A = this chain, B = another copy of it.
């Protein structure tokens, strides 16, 4: 492998939890071709900090990235669960399809603004609407061929982690793995990227595409990152996620409300966010030759070389602390040398600084603002039902003072009542609630 190809391969695969079929990517690079990456997402999301860091690597390595919305026509796990609730949606798919088109437009504006703010080239970032090929004769013929090859058992197993597990599952959930596999072929990608929660879907694709006579693709997987609230993320829980267009006050409020117990590193979404997003932003800027001195507030003005994150404190409280790695930060946090309040303040400042250029671009784009209005119309307010107050204790082993925490402490966990110990829901992709949503409660029976 040539040196430049080696470097590109490094960049493409760094910081991942797992790589399947790396040889496929290596041979593409060796031939001097442009690897194509498929990143399939639902058109519901406006927040994708964690995977975007990795997409930035791909783009920096000259990879062509195709982002596609599976569910604009189809049984994407999230949308299915939504559809079950909203029967009106099923009666007329036309309106939602139009909405999806607007969201694709919104989304492409957003991602481009994000990467431009990070200094990452966007000319190789493409958006494909699923319905542009998922309803063609060829695709459906292949879907039927797959359905005549794949057993119910294999389909269920493949979708176990991403499809909602319910007592009476829908057929759409069984089609899901096959359709995602076919996307690889129809988008002609060399590898697909996703969280490790996609692993079974990915290995399913590796097994079945060759059975249809198509080539096997590589699969690159990000680690799962605990959510900001440390617990189950609910789409109805607005405070659990930060939107790229949230104003500074909203960002501060949400981070202040994040679950972040003093001295506890496990399931600490704020620490995880620093590792998975903020430190990678700094790394990326350093790689592009930007000096540390221009990276406030992520890194303090007086930060020594090698610093990846700074927590500023007044001199009377010990002054700023500089960290050269996530391990370094977590060690200090575990030793209670860093207080949650200071950590949160530093993260909030950093996030606000990251969002600022993106929001500026938004404000200056008439087109983007218009598409945002169409893509995310204000929800229709239904006649208010009187909401019964329910006491939600924090999960065992979390929270300082249970009674106080649940009622008044903004740092207290906002998790819903659930069993002891970490649940599948407590593992989520950082600030990507849209992805995390697809990880649903599994039946424990």
Q: Which residues of A contact B (CB under 8 A)?
A: 73-75, 80, 83-84, 90-93, 135-137, 140-141, 144-153, 155, 168-172, 174-175, 178, 211-213
A148 & B73 in contact (Cβ 8 Å cutoff): no
Sorted from nearest, which 8 A-B pairs have the closest CB atoms?
A147-B171, A135-B137, A147-B172, A148-B172, A151-B168, A140-B140, A152-B169, A83-B148
Minimum Cβ distance to chain B for residue A337 (Å): 51
Q: Given A141-B93, A145-B93, A213-B91, is A151 in contact with B178 using a C-beta cutoff of 8 Å? A: no
The winner among A92, A144, A153, A172 for most chain B CB atoms within 10 A is: A144
A–B Cβ pairs within 8 angstroms, 20 of them: A74-B144, A75-B144, A75-B147, A83-B148, A84-B148, A90-B145, A91-B213, A93-B145, A135-B141, A136-B137, A147-B171, A147-B172, A147-B175, A148-B170, A149-B170, A151-B170, A152-B152, A152-B170, A152-B174, A171-B174
Minimum Cβ distance to chain B for residue A69 (Å): 14
Copies held by the complex: 2
In the complex, chain B residues whose CB is within 8 Å of the CB of A178: 171
Q: Other CB < 8 Å A-B pairs besides A90-B149, A144-B175, 15 of them?
A: A74-B144, A75-B147, A90-B212, A91-B213, A92-B213, A93-B145, A144-B172, A148-B171, A149-B170, A150-B171, A151-B169, A152-B170, A155-B171, A171-B174, A174-B174
In the complex, chain B residues whose CB is within 8 Å of the CB of A175: 144, 147, 171
B137 & A152 in contact (Cβ 8 Å cutoff): no
B135 & A147 in contact (Cβ 8 Å cutoff): no
B169 & A90 in contact (Cβ 8 Å cutoff): no
In the complex, chain B residues whose CB is within 8 Å of the CB of A174: 152, 171, 174
In the complex, chain B residues whose CB is within 8 Å of the CB of A146: 171
In the complex, chain B residues whose CB is within 8 Å of the CB of A144: 73-75, 172, 175
Minimum Cβ distance to chain B for residue A97 (Å): 9
In the complex, chain B residues whose CB is within 8 Å of the CB of A83: 148
Minimum Cβ distance to chain B for residue A214 (Å): 11
